[in-house]
């Protein structure tokens, strides 16, 4: 089935869904349950195969579509303000991305706050990337991508990999990256997904007793030099627009090869609706092409169990 909904039609469906699930009046645990249930509304991408794997000490999903060739991979870090989300909630995105990039997508189930505040998610993501290298991938064959909190986490992960392990990912694909959780102060009410109170709930839970100037928490305030080629996508009505615009400017000042993509009227991380919404599918296709063009092939050593067909 091809995507068939327009952006306005998609908003009519998803606005009440997000208002219910991503609501600071609920506990993070309740939000997680509601969000997991809501993903049942999305159709599966045909010929997608999802295998359960372990990266580091965390579970993950290895996603492939059709005749995807081994040897090129994307480590995908889901969004959800660091308090909700999972590989399950983002399957519509990761399967579409695997098809668009012509690569395997590894969706990591990193630890969430408030049970596990910063730097737990960063530690998990770094360990997952290094585990892919241990499987036989080369850094040139593994990119990192993520949305919202997962976008900020992608930058923080890349920074630690570069500075502490001497490893530079092939590329970064950032969907509306939340690169400074404490830096959101104004809500114009035009974002149908994220609101100020919910973002503050997630920011406080993820920070815990940490330092808000720690680059693992807010990578926008840390050094950006040496990051790999980066694509940043964001829509014009998003709560994070100002923050992301400033971040793109900082990347350019730091000499990073960055491409900024204006998603116009699309809502925050509409990519999760790619199987239904035409413009969302196009955004994932652009992300996939960007990553796929920068991934080299390597002879990966794979030893996963026989997966289950999710298509």
Q: What integer is the mean pLDDT of 191-200?
A: 96
260-281 pLDDT per residue, tens: 999 999 999 999 999 999 999 9
CA distance 297 to 295: 7
Quote the pLDDT of residue 4: 86
pTM summary value: 0.95
Q: In what order do the strands lie in the sheet with 142-147?
A: 258-262, 230-234, 172-175, 142-147, 73-77, 104-108, 58-65, 48-55, 308-309
Average pLDDT on 21-38 reads 96
Residue 197: which pLDDT band, with cuts at 50, 70 and 90? very high
pLDDT band at 148, cuts 50/70/90?
A: very high
For residue 219, give Cα distances in angstroms to 150, 160, 185, 303. Answer: 12, 10, 18, 34
- The residue annotated as part of the active site, out of 238, 271, 279, 298, is 238
Could you report the per-residue pLDDT of 231-249, keeping only the tens digit for each? 999 999 999 999 999 999 9
List 64, 141, 148, 199, catalytic entry: 148
Comparing 39-48, 75-84, 200-209, the range with the smallest average pLDDT is 39-48
Q: Name the catalytic one among 78, 268, 279, 298.
A: 268
Instruction: Please state, in angstroms and rounded to a whole number, the distance separating the CA atoms of residues 243 and 38.
Output: 28
Closest CA to 3 of 289, 272, 309, 292: 272
Note the pLDDT of residue 308. 42
Mean pLDDT of all residues belonging to the chain: 93
Helices and strands counted in the chain (H then E): 8, 9
Check if 197 is active-site.
no
Catalytic residue check, 268: yes
**Is 148 one of the annotated active-site residues of the chain?**
yes
Q: How is residue 7 annotated by DSSP?
A: H
Count the Cβ atoms, other than its own, within 10 Å of residue 93: 31
Question: Given a cut of 50, is residue 54 above it in pLDDT?
Answer: yes
Chain segment 130-140, per-residue pLDDT in tens: 999 999 999 99
Q: How confident is the model at residue 129 (pLDDT cuts 50, 70, 90)?
A: very high
């Amino acid at each position: 089935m091809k995507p068939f909904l327009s952006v306005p039609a998609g908003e009519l469906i998803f606005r009440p869904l997000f208002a219910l699930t991503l609501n600071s009046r609920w506990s993070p645990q309740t939000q997680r349950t509601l969000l997991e249930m809501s993903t049942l509304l999305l159709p599966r991408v045909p010929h997608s195969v999802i295998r359960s794997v372990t990266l580091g000490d965390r579970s993950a999903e290895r996603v492939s579509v059709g005749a995807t060739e081994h040897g090129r991979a994307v480590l995908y870090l889901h969004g959800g303000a660091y308090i909700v989300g999972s590989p399950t909630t983002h399957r519509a995105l990761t399967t579409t991305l695997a098809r668009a990039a012509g690569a395997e997508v590894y969706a990591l189930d990193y630890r969430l706050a408030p049970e596990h505040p910063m730097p737990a998610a960063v530690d998990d993501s770094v360990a997952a990337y290094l585990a892919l290298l241990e499987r036989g991938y080369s850094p040139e064959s593994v990119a990192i991508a993520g949305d919202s909190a997962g976008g900020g986490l992608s930058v923080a992960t890349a920074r630690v990999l570069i500075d502490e392990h001497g490893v530079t990912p092939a590329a970064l694909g950032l969907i509306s990256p939340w690169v400074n959780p404490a830096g959101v102060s104004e809500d114009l009410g035009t974002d149908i997904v994220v609101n100020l109170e919910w973002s503050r709930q997630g920011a406080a839970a993820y920070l815990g007793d940490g330092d808000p100037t720690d680059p693992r928490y807010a990578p926008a305030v840390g050094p950006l030099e040496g990051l790999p080629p980066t694509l940043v996508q964001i829509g014009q009505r998003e709560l994070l627009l100002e923050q992301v615009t400033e971040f793109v400017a900082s990347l350019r000042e730091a000499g990073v090869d960055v491409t900024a993509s204006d998603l116009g009227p699309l809502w925050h991380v509409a990519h999760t609706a790619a199987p239904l919404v035409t413009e969302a599918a196009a955004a994932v296709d652009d992300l996939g092409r960007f990553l796929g063009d920068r991934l080299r092939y390597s002879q990966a050593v794979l030893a996963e169990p026989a997966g289950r067909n999710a298509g």
